Amino acid sequence: MKRLSLLPLLFLFFTPICAQEGLDVNGVRDVTLDSLEKANQVRPVSGSSRHGSNPVLFLVGNSTMRNGTLGNGNNGQWGWGYFCHEWFDKSSITVENHALGGTSPRTFYRRLWPDVLKGVQPGDFVVLELGHNDNGPIDEGRARSSLKPALAHDSLLVTIKETGLQEMVYTFGGYIRRFVSEIRAKGATPILLTLTPRNAYTDEAQTVIDRKLTTFTPWIKALADELHAPLIDLNDISATKLEKYGTWKADYHFFGDKIHSSAFGAHMNAASFAEGLERCNDPQVFRLQQALLKDKLHPNSLKPATAPSKKKKPTVFLTGDSTVKNNDSDESGMWGWGAVAYTVFDSTKCTVVNAAKAGRSTRTYLDEGRWDAVYNSIDPGDYVLIQFGHNDIGPIDTQKERGTIATAADTCHVYHLQSNGQYRVIYSFGWYLKKFIGDVRERGGIPILVSLTPRNEWTGGHIERRNDSYGRWYRQVAEETGVEFVDLHNIAADALDKMGKEKAAAMFNHDHTHTSLAGARFNAQCVAKGLKKNKSPLRKLLK
């Protein structure tokens, strides 16, 4: 697979920034008064989320936790603190993200920490993930570096050259010790995290993520031991996932560089924090563990519960839109071919799970978590049929907001959605297909691309063909990835041409896209025909 091209985005968002060194995407300098004023527009008042006597989980960190001054994804980058609350029961605890991009332990402690600490109460928890920006001059410019050696108890009074102001500077360990001491003085529990991994490898084959890119991990672990503080090795948990993903998938978990995460990477890091917390055996975090959403950490499988058998049957997952799954109830209504898949698949040899959903594009199927549900259910040897396209045609950032970029090439763009004013990175149709294919293979499953069904529109005695757009993009993706491809679009169109326009009309219902029960059975037969023509391994599970 080709790697995602970010050059248009890099030019769009980073050229103005590079022209004025030190300015972020919003045109402000980190931890200046201007920056803090803008950040405080979106950062919560400390403790303001508290419900009654419930505890608050405070997040303290840098751009890997909240990206940019506003943290709204307008540069395509997201911090994991934005999504952290999704793993916790909001009736038991609230999560407040107090992180700010560009901060080091020193600058956060001096500029932001006093206000955060005001809201901390007994029984709260404070997560500390700091270190990425502990670099540069100690007494000029951003002046955010701490003293060395990192774990010493030294301090030094410095004068900032630009302002003439004096500041007592401590070591990295000195700042962490102060955070921890002040958290505990409030009756709260500090939790130390190692830093999020970078998109860098130790070997030429790019199979092992470099966990020693900085020396912060051993420092943080040493401080956790010294201070008897709970530790979550976020670096290792996320790095292990990235290694499993492979380089193509790992790449899109970052955006713009090798440090900052995309929404995918931010979700992954938030999940890694929750997973690490669940596995932590330190009794100090027991109450926080009780607030974790177990269903989020351990999602249920889409597979129906069955009695144990000596020989496990493979599952055939069907993904797609209304042409695969529709109302599927009224004999005179609209049907998707997945509802009648039993007419072609042998239930004694396999189990068919129709996970398609009407109205979905590749993008919305992913965004709504439907793809994740399939992904988490795949066992080695299972099959996943992937068929989208009808709804990828629509607008991207207006109306139903479900369209994708019309190409098979790996590309993306940051869009400002009209529905909610949020920023989203939207990818190409081909990119989403490649993601699905890669995910299935990662789980040990067998992906099969199935092109979209033809519409009941005729020209010159022939039904429509989209071989110059979606059909072509399907074939390009199949060629690039080596995935099996069932060209349902042309198999069905050939058969409908032979029927003629009048007889073919019986295959559709309501409009030119959705099929009748007869049409659903027809499409299921066409899928079976394509599998047989390909000499697919899946053909052995057909009737």
Is 90 exceeded by the pLDDT of residue 516?
Answer: yes
Q: What is the largest CA-CA distance in the chain?
A: 88
What is the structure's pLDDT at 311? 64
What is the structure's pLDDT at 6? 41
441 φ/ψ angles, rounded to the nearest 5 degrees: -65, -35
Is 70 exceeded by the pLDDT of residue 94?
Answer: yes
For 305, other C-beta atoms within 10 Å of its C-beta total: 6
| Measured distance CA(78)–CA(264) in Å, rounded | 9
Is 80 exceeded by the pLDDT of residue 38?
Answer: no
What is the structure's pLDDT at 42? 73
pTM (two decimals) = 0.92
| Per-residue pLDDT tens over the stretch 407-427 | 999 999 999 999 999 999 999
What is the structure's pLDDT at 300? 92
353 φ/ψ angles, rounded to the nearest 5 degrees: -115, 115
Q: Which residues of 162-193 are buried (b: 16+ CB within 10 A; e: fewer)?
A: eeeeeeebbbbbbbbbebbebbeebebbbbbb
| Measured distance CA(375)–CA(316) in Å, rounded | 12
Instruction: Let me know: does 73 contact 63? Beta carbons within 8 Å.
Output: no
SS3 250: helix
| Measured distance CA(191)–CA(55) in Å, rounded | 15
The sheet carrying 231-232 orders its strands as 94-97, 56-61, 125-129, 189-193, 231-232
SS3 351: strand
Instruction: Let me know: does 413 contact 8? Beta carbons within 8 Å.
Output: yes
Comparing CA positions, the residue from 326, 320, 341 lying closest to residue 527 is: 341
Mean pLDDT over 189-209 rounds to: 95
Residue 212 confidence class, pLDDT cut points 50, 70, 90: confident
For the chain, report the end-to-end CA distance as a whole number of angstroms: 34
Provide the Cα torsion 46, 51, 54, 56; round to 10°.
Answer: -30
What is the structure's pLDDT at 1? 43
| Per-residue pLDDT tens over the stretch 298-336 | 999 998 876 665 568 999 999 999 999 999 999 999 999
What's the Cα-to-Cα distance from 359 to each of 225, 362, 405, 434, rounded to whole Å? 53, 10, 17, 21
What is the structure's pLDDT at 71? 84
Domains of the chain: 49-133+182-297 (3.40.50.1110), 315-541 (3.40.50.1110)
Q: Which helix (H) or strand (E) holds 317?
A: strand 315-320
What is the structure's pLDDT at 399? 96
